[in-house]
Structure 1
Amino acid sequence: MNKILISLFLMSLLIAFTNCDNDKKTEVPFPSQISDIKTEPRVGGVLLSWDIPQDSNYFYVQTRYEKNGRTIKTNSSIFTDSVVIGGLLNKFEYVFEVQAFNEDLVGNEVLTTSAVRPIRRGKDITYQPESNVDIELTDDMIDTYTQESSEGPKKNLLDGNINSYWHTAWSSGVAPLPHWIQINFDEPTEIGGMRYTFRQNGDENGRPSQWDLQVSDDGNAWTTVWTSEENLPTSPVASTQTLLFGERENFSSQYFRLRILANPGNRTYTHLSTISIFKKGLSVVDLEEEAERNYQ
């Protein structure tokens, strides 16, 4: 009987010690605290970052914020010191709660950020050449520099006849390039490209091989907004050359200068047969407005 009692007593002690040992194994420390929460606006979102404590004694970091009346939660692992929250709108400011949790889902103190507004999404612009709009020009709308007095008046640029031509100065008032064709509108106008043809009986050395585009609000102070590639084609003589001022935009101004920067022969004169301008046909999708429509 005594042996049975002793055996039962020893078994009870063994179970008690085992339970104590299991309790020690499953005990999870209180999560350590992260610090120095920073927010950085991004396009359509926000980057949150924080400092990981040296002991890193937590299981994950949870970020929470309100969106359309719902609380959105994002969990980041112990090895992560930042998270990008996307799908946000520029018209709202967002406040984020950040909290560290241990494996038992016990959380440390909640840290709250200041309000932050995401950067507005841009526009997706697609060039549609079939939708180009030609812009009518008249002789009184253009000025030229330089201008030869004995031949090639500026009006020939607009007559549509490839057998007539415009010529910059070679007999008097000669000046080095750039030479230009200035277009004066009555009000701000958008242009996106140009077409031109070469003088049919002129030497190739005087044909434009590089252009740029300048704009002005008052016709006095000028800003260069586009420059073409160097060594543009100068043949075949009968072909129409087309240049786009940028890939996916039109430029708006009241005054424009189409400047001839270079020609193959480095001549101090240049010549053209015809010139015309157009507004680029563009398909424009406002990505921020699209995001607002799909905001969930």
Structure 2
Amino acid sequence: MKLNFKYMIVVGLLIGMTGCDDNLETFEIGGSTAAPTAIATSAVNSDPLPGQIKLTWNTPSEGAFEYLQIKYHDPLTEQDVCKIASIGTTEMLIEDTRARFGDYSFFFQTFNAAHQGSEVTEIKAKSGAAPSTTTEKSRTEMKIEADQLSTNAQEPSEGPIKNLIDGKGNTFFHTRWSSPQIELPHYIQIDFKEAHEDFAIYYQNRTDNTWTSEGRPSVVELQISSDGKNFETVATLSGLPSAHSTEYTSEFVVPGKTFTSFRFNVIATSGNTKYFNLAQFKFYDVEVEIYDPETVPLD
């Protein structure tokens, strides 16, 4: 016997579907009332995604069933969940899952046009780790002394590096523009007296040369070192402002390790000059808060 009509399924009211979501879904019912074919365990695959589980299954043969029910227990919300899929669906994304819970058990059951169910197939699947989030709580400006600063390209005729920390917007630091010029990168190095970890930086473009927008940092590597000699890049800044007097404040950087030396390493400039200049520079220690859904205590 075959049924050919649109059947409005009231999820949660069908026989054998207690606990399903109370929503309405419309399926085109045009199949047999013969016993539905169960989903084979071997026909289902699972992929652990960050905070998600992706379930996929083989395309069923024509008339195998009319719709599919997937039930599982969500250990995070401590709720039983029921999902409904039409015969044309071959994948489902289960969201807000956790690796910490190990195996999730999914119970697949198919139904024919008369809502008669097949045998239940259990599929076990794992979630990928839900990603953590890091937020800034506060930032504190670090006091820098002139003897902590150095550069590989000081211009000998003007703009000493100590001007970066004099608190005056009308002075500036300038890397070498006179002959013989030094190829980029040019850097500002700070050697700290103590270890630092999470940080942010601020600078102001030179204020007095209003006639030009050249010679501003346009691409900068933020580098750290534990010995003042061997540096690694932990962030790269680009799209930086080129207008005179413009102030720039970076997002916080979490390098995942401590360091005692820092470099503001300029690898490109506006106007493609072989030098750069700045009015002021500041370094901030940043206090961050990390929320890890895989380790946070559960209620």
Q: Distance in 2 between matches of 1:187 and 1:59?
A: 64
- For residues 24-173 of structure 1, what are the structure 2 equivalents within 5 Å? 28-35=33-40, 36-68=43-75, 71-93=80-102, 94-123=104-133, 125=135, 132-171=139-178
Q: Distance in 2 between matches of 1:100 and 1:57?
A: 9
**Is structure 2 residue 238 aligned with structure 1 residue 228?**
yes
- Contact kept in structure 1, 2:47 and 2:55, CA below 8 Å: yes
Name structure 1 gaps, 5 residues minimum: 1-26
Select the residue among 192, 197, 203 that pairs with 2:200. Answer: 192
SS of the equivalent of 2:293 reads helix
**Bigger-Rg structure (1/2):** 1
SS of the equivalent of 2:162 reads helix
Structure 1 letter corresponding to 2:39:
I
Deviation at 1:152, TM superposition (A): 3.2
Deviation at 1:263, TM superposition (A): 4.3
Deviation at 1:151, TM superposition (A): 4.0
Aligned residues with identical type, % of pairs = 25
Higher strand share: 2
Q: Structure 1 length normalisation: TM-score?
A: 0.70
Q: Structure 2 length normalisation: TM-score?
A: 0.69
Which range moves more in the overlay, 177-186 or 206-215? 206-215
Residue 250 of structure 2 is matched in structure 1 by 244
Query: Aligned residues, how many?
Result: 257
Residue 276 of structure 1 is matched in structure 2 by 282
- Contact kept in structure 2, 1:199 and 1:271, CA below 8 Å: no
Structure 1 letter corresponding to 2:175:
T
SS of the equivalent of 1:140 reads helix
Structure 1 letter corresponding to 2:36:
P
Q: Distance in 2 between matches of 1:29 and 1:271?
A: 80
What whole-Å deviation, never above 9, does each CA across 1:139-198 have from its counterpart, x for those lacking one? Answer: 233221212345433222212133443232345663022211022333233222312241
**Is structure 2 residue 179 aligned with structure 1 residue 176?**
no
- Cα distance change of structure 1 residues 224 and 204 upon mapping to structure 2, 3 Å threshold: farther
Deviation at 1:61, TM superposition (A): 1.6
